[in-house]
Amino acid sequence: MWVTPDICAGLPGFPSMTHNARNKLNKLSGEKTELRRKCAVGKGFEYHIDCLPPETRVHLLQQQVKEQVEAAQAKASAESAERWLAFQEATESKRQEAARNLQICLMVADLVEKNDMKMYKAFAHIADTTGTPLGTIKRWFYIEPGLKGIQKGDWLPALLSRQGCHSKHKEVICPEAWSFFQGDYLRTDAPTLRSCYERLLEAAKVTGWSIPHVSFFRRRIKTHIPLELRVSLREGAFRAKQDLVPAQRRSRAGLHAMQIVNGDGYTHNLWIRLPNGQVVRPTTWFFQDVYSSMLLSYCVDVSENTDMLGLALHQMVSRYGVPAACVLDRGSAALSQAMSGRMHRPSGRDKKHKKFDSAEVEGAMTAMGIDVTWTRVEADTAGNKGNARAKPIERAFNGKSGLGSVVDKHPAFASATVGDSVDKKPAHYVDAQKNAVSLETFLQVLAAQIEAWNSREGRRTEMAKARGLSYRQVFEESYSQVTIRKPSDYQLMMCLMRTEECPVHGGGVIELKASQNPLGECNRYHSPMLYAHIGTKVSLRFNPSNLSEAVYAYDATGVLIGQIPILKDVAFNDRGGARQQRLAQEDVMGRIELMQRTTDITPIKDVAALLTTVPAGNNPVPAAVGPTLARMMPKATNEPEHEPEYEELPMASGCDSAAAAERRQKAAQAMAKLFGHDEGEDDE
């Protein structure tokens, strides 16, 4: 054992400083060169332990033994952890076999330790007693696993059979072949393992790869490709987030009725026939109370739109009051400016969903003080998907006892259903559209089933399962103990009125696109109040169920302009319509005349006379300009004597004084008739 001055400094019998320890080592080694040698690394010398004082030598040996014991204990601990890990991963049959072998080995240990029996005699006695071969017992203690050198607490995992543990490593595969297989297997098309294996064999014919059996790949996928990677690359990022992260379990204990509501649309899996003969799959918008899970209101339409959301909202707030918060997804109806307003839309990339403008009016929900919360949208390889777990109403739509089963599969709709997915089409799918039920029948069944849904007792929700209550009983119990704010008449009006941004055309006319008919024509609305906004855009709020009424216009700042009446179309030969048009024109001209009378306007003659008195200054008109302009005008009758005579230009036809006077007289008579003046009355 060789030491350096750094090691000896501070040890028993040596000074604490390194240079003093070096001097003492040089004295102790003396002239004996065999006790001193150059260090293998760096400068200086190292010295043999034999030249050290006895107390220093004992301390170093004790320290060496301590380090060896600690290393042995650490190694034994690591080996013990490995043994127990392998024991936990082993099959149940192997663990039971190891337990039986442990009983035999413990019997041998008892004979040796308690009865002072020799080891080989104990082996023979236990072999005769249990029928275990003597060589097997000897092998356990001296060869494999060598229980003589293992603590008794680790005998059980040490006796675990290793047979078959290394068989999976016999087959190997080159990295290039494994990379090729992963590239084919880990894709969103999700091909089968067998098809990927067959393509790998085809590639191996060209590359010369050695390909193991298909079972090797089946095992290697589980051991070498993490589950997270398999799910995300084969099923998509959205599926990975939904499946690998458990759903939250959110408690509703701290809520009360009408504190939070959530809404969503549901497209029914059946055909109905509208009164006009059209066959469609209806869509119903529901509002649900989060605390009790009771359905508060609903509205049916041919597709999910803003109007049905407004009607369902009006029905809910007029019956139960205004909720404090509402949870919505990011569908077109919920994102409409009529419901949520411009300033309360989600931010980020979702701004592209609608065109934002400062002319948008605050929506009905935010005007009532409802705090709107938007569910998150996850981007997936198949497109954007909403977070269905965030809205409890999704549970009411799906499941074995959801509305999709209770309503859509009602006996009244037999043979008219279509199934909830393409792989669940019923046997009558081909004739389902021919068997469409009437709208009246659908609405009657829907109303009855929703009432039964709310009143069914024995619900298993957090608030109802302890006492076996229904959704309605839970809601009414909490609703009777709280005070819910009621909406005003104006707020109820906003629920039923939709907002649309329209440009103001010449004449103060607005064309509402929401009223467009199959021929492409739109309703027109006109009012003199829109003259100041011609060329700009205003926001119209209107009742979508009655577009023949007047609309309300708001400017870019959100200020109400006024009520704009409809400008109806007339028949081509309608004399009454022509008379109304003439009266409207006369009304406009009367207002113009009144404005002219009441406006202080300087006559143009006075304006011209004032301008002629302005001095020309230091830049007079050149002399060459005068004659040129004079040739363009008729010759004056009374010319000054000092002005030169110019050649008289021919007068244009019709400009003689008699004809001009006659035309002016006819024009004056027409204006007098238009404004209701007598022919002899002078114009002011």
Q: How many residues does the chain have?
A: 684
pLDDT given for residue 67 in this prediction: 79
At 549-563, the pLDDT tens digits run 788 888 887 788 888
pLDDT exceeds cutoff 70 at 377: no
pLDDT band per the 50, 70, 90 thresholds, residue 630: very low
As a dihedral over the C-alpha atoms of residue 79, residue 80, residue 82, residue 86, rounded to 10 degrees, the angle is 140
Q: What is the mean pLDDT of residues 511-525?
A: 74
341-350 long-range contacts, CB within 8 A, separation 24+: 341/365, 341/366, 341/367, 344/372, 346/374, 350/377
- For 445-454, which contacts have Cβ atoms below 8 Å and span 24 or more sequence positions? 445/407, 445/410, 445/412, 445/413, 446/284, 446/298, 446/300, 446/407, 449/403, 449/406, 449/407, 449/410, 450/295, 450/298, 452/406, 453/295, 453/396, 453/403, 453/406, 454/294, 454/295
- Indicate left, alpha or beta for 385 from its phi (over 0: left) and psi (-120 to 50: alpha): beta
Is the separation of the CB atoms in 295 and 288 below 8 Å?
Answer: yes
**Mean pLDDT on 519-541:** 85
Read off the pLDDT band of 661 (50, 70, 90).
low
CB 381 within 8 A of CB 237: yes
Q: In 404-437, which positions are buried (b, 16+ CB within 10 angstroms) versus exposed (e)?
A: bebbbebeebebbbbebeeeeeeeeeeebeebbb
pLDDT in tens, 182-221: 999 999 899 999 999 999 999 999 999 999 999 999 999 9
pLDDT for the residue numbered 441: 94
Q: 3.10.110.10, 2.40.30.10, 3.30.420.10, 3.10.350.10: which CATH number matches 260-479? A: 3.30.420.10
Any idea which of 317-331, 346-360, 606-620, 626-640 has the lowest mean pLDDT?
Answer: 346-360
Helices (H), 572-677: 575-598, 604-612, 625-630, 657-674
Confidence of residue 246 (pLDDT cuts 50, 70, 90): confident
Least confident of 77-91, 293-307, 315-329: 77-91
Q: For domain 498-569, give the fold.
A: SH3 type barrels. (2.30.30)
Locate the domains of the chain by residue range. 2-64, 90-165, 168-244, 260-479, 498-569, 580-601+662-684
Element (H, E) at 511: strand 509-512
Question: What pLDDT is recorded for position 355?
Answer: 36
As assigned by CATH, the class of the 2-64 domain is mainly alpha
Residue with tokens 């009742």: 543
Q: How confident is the model at residue 57 (pLDDT cuts 50, 70, 90)?
A: confident
User: Concatenated DSSP letters for 268-293?
Assistant: -SB-EE-TTS-EE--EEEEEEETTT-
Q: Looking at the domain that runs over 168-244, which CATH code has it been given?
A: 1.10.10.60
Please state which of the ranges 472-476, 486-490, 494-498, 674-678 shows the lowest mean pLDDT.
Answer: 674-678
Instruction: Quote the pLDDT of residue 354.
Output: 42
Q: Rounded mean pLDDT of the chain? A: 80
How many Å apart are CA 175 and CA 170, to the nearest integer? 16
Half-sphere exposure of 523 toward its Cβ, with a 13 Å CA cutoff?
Answer: 16
d(CA 347, CA 433): 41
127 neighbors 139 (Cβ within 8 angstroms): no
End-to-end CA distance of the chain: 132
pLDDT of residue 351: 43
pLDDT at 373: 82
SS3 label, residue 117: coil
Q: Find the helix or strand (DSSP H, E) in which 538 lies.
A: strand 537-542
SS3 38: strand
DSSP assignment of 370-381: -EEEE--EEEET
In the predicted structure, residue 640 carries a pLDDT above the cut 70 = no
Q: Does domain 90-165 have CATH number 3.20.20.330?
A: no
Judged against a pLDDT cut of 90, whether residue 259 lies above it is answered with yes
Lowest mean pLDDT among 11-20, 104-113, 325-334: 325-334
pLDDT, residue 361, reads 33
- Note whether 2-64 and 90-165 share their fold: yes
Please say if the pLDDT value at position 635 is more than 70.
no
Q: Is the pTM of this model over 0.95?
A: no
Q: Helix crossing, 489-496 with 306-320: angle to 10°?
A: 150
pLDDT tens for 565-586 read 888 887 887 777 788 788 878 8
Surface-to-core class of residue 683, CB atoms within 10 Å of its CB (0-12 exposed, 13-18 middle, 19+ buried): exposed
- Region 115-140: what's the mean pLDDT? 90
Per-residue pLDDT of 301-314, as tens digits, reads 988 877 788 888 98
